[in-house]
Amino acid sequence: MMDTVRAATVQRLLLFVPARRNWSGAGRNAFTTATELAYLALPAEGAAIAGRAALGQMPRARSVDLVFDFLDVHTAAVEAPRLNEAKLRLALPNLLEERLLVDPGDCHFAYRLAEPGTGGAAGRLGVAAITRTTLTRVLEAAAQAQLPVRAAYSEMHLIPPPSGATASARVAAGRVLVRTGTDQACIFDLETGAAAALHLAKAQYAIGRLRTYGGGSEKLAAVTAPLGISCEDAHADADSGAIDTAVNLLQGQYSSAGNSGVLAHLLSRAAHKGTWKAPAAWVGAWALISIAGLNAYWIKLEGQNQDLRQSMRHAFRDAFPAEPTIIDEVAQAQRLVANLRARAGQASPDDFSVLNTQALQLLSSAPVGIVTAIEYADRSYRIHFRPGSVDNAELRNALQGRALAQGLALRFEPDGSVLLAPGGG
């Protein structure tokens, strides 16, 4: 039977995580893929199959539920204010602080989500809390075992809440778990203390009938008969309807639908089964095609640049055949044209006299006394202003507008000076 379950893919697999106090080892070695767990396989059709195996040797399943020990998960119903999800998660530690035996800062909190469209959660809210260390280590080990974890909750949610005088009980590993409310339950040893616990439960919750799950109904009936509580065997290990209403611990940063959860799952699969090879091959092919395309485009642009430079050299030679050496066609052409204009008595646009005249027109309506110095070197005309005098945006815009109207290129330098050059129009 065990081999048959492992060979087939079941619809749902419930993994019963051992109580945190029973873990052996320390740190990450406290819970590993070699840790043995009891499981319950729920096929699409047929009866559930119970078994026990190491975490790394579990049957294949389409979805996996982690069932934590009742004492490792604190469950409660609290009065919650009407808040959005983000603010409610921040408020949960304060709402449960007085009920927890551990530091709320070490716990992860989950709650039963409100119905969509209600504008948040208000009224009584079902809440569950578990230490982050416990939840994180189990999820890490499950990821290493390539188990598709869908949900995590307390074992209390394997059985339905009480209905009238009928309560539900689950017998497993010599313990009896009796669910006394939607978010409440009690647990006790079947061999010792069962009679006293059930007597108290009957008096407090008016229990007259127990519906038992997980077997062991005969032993439990022997205890409940003298108390006037009847027992009925449910002939099942869990109730799927009760499971679907559980407070799923995988919320917030542990959400199985979150980006980190999916990414961690994919990385785990890639690391353990070699499924990274096909994606890596596609990525490599894409990178190769991209690099080849970029190189081809660069070669094309380089050819166009060479053709343009060659045409510029021919034009320069046609205009200035006596020039012995060509180093920079543009700069040499500008210098030679300026020399020709000077010989012909024509002022060049970047001569000092021309730029100085245009600068005077440019500053004609500017505040008096803002200019401290003027420099002209290498056909560059620079105006230095008194510090802070041209910080006004209106003045800068006005100077830019006048410069464009006169065909000048005006540029404000980091030191507060202005560089003028012909060609702004």
Phi (first) and psi of residue 309, to 5 degrees: -65, -35
305-357 per-position pLDDT tens digit: 888 888 888 887 777 777 777 777 777 777 777 677 666 556 666 677 777 88
Among 240, 123, 223, 115, CA closest to 178? 223
Residues 6+ apart with CB under 8 A from 91: 80, 81, 83
Instruction: Identify the CATH number of the domain defined by range 1-157+242-273.
Output: 3.30.420.380
- The order of strands in the sheet holding 49-54 is 49-54, 36-42, 10-16, 61-68, 149-154
Confidence (pTM) = 0.56
Level-2 CATH architecture, domain 352-422: 2-Layer Sandwich (3.30)
Instruction: Give the per-residue pLDDT at 374.
Output: 84
When pLDDT is averaged across residues 153-164 and rounded to a whole number, the result is 92
Flag the least confident range among 85-89, 174-178, 282-286, 399-403. 85-89
- Give the other-Cβ count within 10 Å of 46's Cβ: 9
Instruction: Give the per-residue pLDDT at 319.
Output: 78
Q: Does domain 160-237 have CATH number 1.10.1740.10?
A: no
Report the mean per-residue pLDDT for the chain: 81
8-65 per-position pLDDT tens digit: 678 889 999 999 988 877 666 788 889 999 999 988 777 888 899 999 999 988 899 9
Instruction: Give the per-residue pLDDT at 272.
Output: 45
Q: Computed from CA positions of residues 396, 397, 398, 401, in that sequence, does the dihedral angle turn out positive or negative?
A: positive
- 275 pLDDT more than 70: no
Instruction: Give the per-residue pLDDT at 116.
Output: 43
Instruction: Give the per-residue pLDDT at 315.
Output: 82
Instruction: Give the per-residue pLDDT at 262.
Output: 42
Flag the least confident range among 6-15, 103-112, 254-263, 401-410. 254-263
Instruction: Give the per-residue pLDDT at 263.
Output: 47
- 81 pLDDT more than 60: yes
Flag the least confident range among 138-152, 336-350, 360-374. 336-350
- 203 pLDDT more than 60: yes
3-state secondary structure the chain: CHHHHHHCCEEEEEEECCCHHHCCCCHHHHCCCCCEEEEEEECCCCCCEEEEEEHHHCCCEEEEEEEECHHHCEEEEEEEEEECHHHHHHHHHHHHHHHCCCCHHHEEEEECCCCCCCCCEEEEEEEEEEEHHHHHHHHHHHHHCCCCEEEEEEHHHHCCCCECCEEEEEEECCEEEEECCCCCEEEEECCCCHHHHHHHHHHHHCCCEEEEECCCHHHHHHHHHHHCCEEEECCCCCCHHHHHCCCCCCCHHHCCCCHHHHHHHHHHHHHHHCCCHHHHHHHHHHHHHHHHHHHHHHHHHHHHHHHHHHHHHHHHHHHCCCCCCCCCHHHHHHHHHHHHHHHCCCCCCCCHHHHHHHHHHHCCCCCCCCEEEEEEECCEEEEEECCCCCCCHHHHHHHHHHHHHCCEEEEECCCCCEEEEECCC
